[in-house]
């Protein structure tokens, strides 16, 4: 009986560990927001996700200094989308990013990752064999739509957004 329980435990642990990380098809884009659209980026991304058949969920949390961490997660059509403000350490160049006394979310730069939709049960690598390239294709489509809406879409992160320097005065 003990061996059976140990086997089941190891099997379930293996599935959980296999779910960690992304498949080789995962795609990440970085988005700089215009100052007037920074507060509604996740809402705009949710509209795009819905248009493509995903079911988005939005969340946000504001710390005691007034910095808001925004997040979006959307699932559907065998895809998983996750996005959030870029976290900054507070040690970035004050001349570029503004002076901060600690870590904080960048109010104007977001990271968006798209992967296969079986991330939670650890079968992304199997789905990647069936629908190879779909997350990258979807991330490209999202990027084009965001660009058309006035956002700057990049393949690599910036040190920080211009909005970070503007909002730095809140941290003093």
Task: Tell me the per-residue pLDDT of 33-52, one tens digit each, with 9 for 90 and over.
Answer: 999 999 999 999 999 999 99
How many CB atoms are located within 10 Å of the residue 25 CB?
A: 21
pTM of the model: 0.78
Whether residue 11 contacts residue 5, with contact meaning beta carbons closer than 8 Å, is answered with no
Distance CA 88, CA 61 (A): 16
Task: Tell me the per-residue pLDDT of 130-168, one tens digit each, with 9 for 90 and over.
Answer: 445 788 999 999 999 999 999 999 999 999 999 998 888
Task: Give the per-residue pLDDT at 43.
Answer: 97
Distance CA 64, CA 101 (A): 13
3-state SS class at 149: coil
């Amino acid at each position: 009986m003990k061996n059976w329980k140990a086997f089941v435990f190891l099997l379930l642990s293996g599935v959980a560990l296999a779910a960690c990380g992304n498949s080789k098809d995962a795609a990440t884009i970085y988005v700089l927001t215009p100052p007037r659209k920074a507060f509604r980026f996740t809402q705009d991304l949710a509209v795009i996700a819905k248009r493509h058949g995903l079911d988005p969920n939005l969340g946000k949390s504001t710390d005691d200094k007034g910095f808001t961490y925004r997040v979006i997660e959307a699932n559907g059509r065998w895809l998983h989308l996750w996005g959030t403000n870029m976290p900054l350490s507070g040690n970035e160049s004050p001349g570029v990013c503004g002076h901060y006394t600690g870590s904080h979310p960048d109010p104007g730069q977001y990271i968006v990752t798209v992967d296969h939709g079986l991330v939670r049960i650890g079968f992304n690598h199997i789905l990647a064999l069936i629908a190879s390239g779909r997350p990258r294709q979807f991330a490209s489509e999202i990027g084009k739509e965001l660009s058309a809406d006035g956002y700057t879409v990049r393949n690599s992160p910036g040190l920080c957004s211009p909005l970070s320097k503007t909002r730095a005065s809140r941290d003093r």
